[in-house]
Amino acid sequence: MTKQKIDTPELSRRGFLKASAATSTAALISSLFPGGAWAAGSDAPEKKEIKVGFIPLTDCASVVMAATQKFDEKYGIKIIPSKEASWASVRDKLVNGELDAAHVLYGLVYGVHLGIGGPKKDMANLMTLNNNGQAITLANQLKEKGATDGASLKKVIAASPAGTYTFAQTFPTGTHAMWLYYWLAAHDINPFQDVKAIVVPPPQMVANMRVGNMHGFCVGEPWNQRAIVDKIGFTAVTTQDIWTDHPEKILGTTAEWVAKNPNSARALTAAVLDASRWIDASQANRRTTAETVAARSYVNTDMDVILGRMLGRYEDGQGKTWDDANAMKFFNDGAVNFPYLSDGMWFLTQHRRWGLLDKDVDYLAVAKAINRVDIYKQAAAAAGVSLPKSDMRSSKLIDGVVWDGSNPAKYAGSFKIKA
């Protein structure tokens, strides 16, 4: 993959300080963020040090690399990555202001905004951090019973009393819950009646499967690959096979934080966009990224466990290996990062499908309130990132059903298996 030319100035720390000596910080940031109305007549970031939470997962990479590769300095900020223990902790710290922003589950932010899955607070999605790259892992004991994919899993589950098998996801309104439920239902398995669903933090998935607490889980990498390496499970399906180029983690914060720090929000978004482009620019950069995020202070696992799937080289633990064209993407010429309104609306339709929402909402209005397309467009201009033609997109999921955001209430109610 060739590197894109970046039109914005590449400022090293020394260059930034020299430039600052010659001109005001406001003027410097103005050159990086052309256009737009700025808070209190100044373009300077209101908050220079920005604490960004993350969970130990491969897809925290763009936040980590924005800090370690100093992309943040170019925009006059310092990103301070903060390792968190669970998505519930990320939620609570965003809501109470301990974190300025976070690498966070798409559906979590939507749930908080609507008061489901935790306290209600107006939230903001600044950008999508990655597409693809999650998976559903089944325990080896299921393989011994003949379950190797969705169709054969249905037969095994149907032959046992309801609730015999337990499946874990990472947060009730989050992405992994929605991928797990969608995949099970696509194979005629009701995730709330035929099996038991529990919540387990990502880094604890493998240990819990090892001691038999669940028979399957949906989580981000590297924990699916870790289960294969540890010989306790296998990959039944990747999430890119459920929905190719699906939205995954986002750069989330509160609406209040954006209102108080609009310039910082733009600077943060632009810095993470730069990091996203850098990661996707070459396999060498992806290798460096894997080495960086594998460290104890981030994911804390063997680099080799991260590297394979980071490079798109998959094994399923059942003898199959392949190069996946739709492995985890961080940039894809900006197509990954745009906060499509239809992406946010999809999570709402699934929350409605599974009874997390007790009635239809104004899907488009909610998405417009949360997805800060305005902030993203100004940050993209600063980082020299192209924009899509529309803030909606169309996708066909594993069951052949097309989602395009045109009639969300009808879509939410159309599924045979639902709450």
- pLDDT tens string 24-78: 444 444 445 444 444 445 789 999 999 999 999 999 999 999 999 999 999 999 9
What does the pLDDT read at residue 7? Answer: 34
- pLDDT tens string 232-259: 999 999 999 999 999 999 999 999 999 9
Average pLDDT along the chain: 92
> Is 52 within 8 Å of 77 (Cβ atoms)?
no
Domain with CATH 3.40.190.10 in the chain: 13-132+247-313+328-391, 135-245
At CB < 8 A and 24+ separation, what contacts does 204-213 make? 205/137, 205/168, 206/230, 206/232, 206/233, 208/168, 209/137, 209/139, 209/168, 209/233, 212/139, 213/166, 213/168
Identify whether 56 is preceded by a cis peptide bond (ω within 30 of 0): no
User: What does residue 290 show for φ and ψ, rounded to 5 degrees?
Assistant: -60, -45
What does the pLDDT read at residue 338? Answer: 98
Position 352 pLDDT exceeds 70: yes
Identify the architecture of domain 135-245 in CATH: 3-Layer(aba) Sandwich (3.40)
User: Which CATH superfamily groups domain 13-132+247-313+328-391?
Assistant: Periplasmic binding protein-like II (3.40.190.10)
**Closest by alpha carbon to 312, among 341, 283, 336?**
283
**Closest by alpha carbon to 103, among 93, 113, 116, 117?**
93
Sequence-ordered alpha helix ranges (H) in 51-149:
61-68, 87-96, 106-114, 140-144
